[in-house]
Amino acid sequence: MRSNFNRSALVRQLAGWQAAPADAPRQDLAERLSQWFNVADAIALSSLHQALPAVARARRPAVPAAALSVQAELQRVRATLSQAITSPPLEPGDEGTDDTDAGFAPHHQRCLEQQRRMEMSIEALRGHVRKTLSLTSARLAQLAALDAAIEPMLGGREQRLLATVPSFLKARFADLRQSHPGGWQPLFEHELQQTLLAELDLRLQPVVGMVEALSQEVKQHP
C-alpha cells in the first residue's frame, strides 16, 4: 500500500489493470530522475542555476491584477476539459460486433482527441501562468524560469508515456467485453472517463504547483 501512496491517480488506475512483475526493480527518486535527464539536460540545468540570481535581481512591479485571475483561469480550463471528457460520445462504437479492434476504434479516436485537446489547452495555460509569475516577484520569476527549462526536457518522455494510455484502455476494453458480456459498455465508459480525468490531473500538476506558489505570494504580499 505504501508504494502506491505517492503514485498519481493515473498510474494507480493503469497498475490496477496490469500489475507490475513481482521482480520489477525498485528505484529511488534520484535513480528514476537520472533516466529522464541526459548530459545536455544536466548542463542546461547547471547554466540555469547560475543564471537564477540574475533573474531574481531584475526589477518587477507589484503583484499584477492578472495574478488574481490565474486561479480562475486554471479552474476554467480544468472544467472545460473535464466536461469534454465526461460528455457522452456522439458516435458510440458498434457494440454488437465480435471484432474487438473494430469495436474499440471509436474509443481509441475519442481518447486521442481528448489527449490532443488537453495538450493544447494546458500548454497555453502553462505559458500564461509562467508569464504571470515572471512579473510578480523575484522568487516566482525563478520558479517560472525553472519550469520553462524543465518542460522541454521532460515533455518528450511524458508524451511518450501518455501515448501508451490507449493501449491500456484497449486491453481493458477486451477484458471487460469478455468478462461482462451483458453489461460491459457502462463499465468501460466509466473507466475510460476516470482514466482521462486522471490523465488531466497529471498534466495539470505543474500548473497547479505554480498557481499555488502564486497564491502563497499574494497572501504574503497583498
Domain ranges of the chain: 31-220
Residue 57: per-residue pLDDT: 54
Burial class (CB in 10 A: 0-12, 13-18, 19+), 1: exposed
- Quickly state the pLDDT bin for 97 (edges 50, 70, 90): very low
Q: Which residues contact 29 (CB under 8 A, 6 or more apart)?
A: none
- Quickly state the pLDDT bin for 1 (edges 50, 70, 90): very low
Helix boundaries (H) for 87-183: 100-134, 138-162, 165-179
- Quickly state the pLDDT bin for 85 (edges 50, 70, 90): very high
C-beta separation of 14 from 167 below 8 A: no
Whether 92 has a pLDDT exceeding 60, the answer reads no
What amino acid is encoded at 219 in this protein?
K
Quick: pLDDT tens for 170-215. 999 999 999 988 889 999 999 999 999 999 999 999 999 999 999 8
11 or 67: which leads in pLDDT: 11
Quick: pLDDT tens for 15-32. 877 654 444 444 444 455
What global pTM score does this model have? 0.77
Q: State the chain's mean pLDDT as an integer.
A: 78
Calculate mean pLDDT across residues 28-45.
52
Quick: pLDDT tens for 134-153. 888 888 888 998 899 889 88
Residue with the three cell numbers 520569476: 141
* C-alpha closest to that of 195 among 154, 217, 164, 221: 164
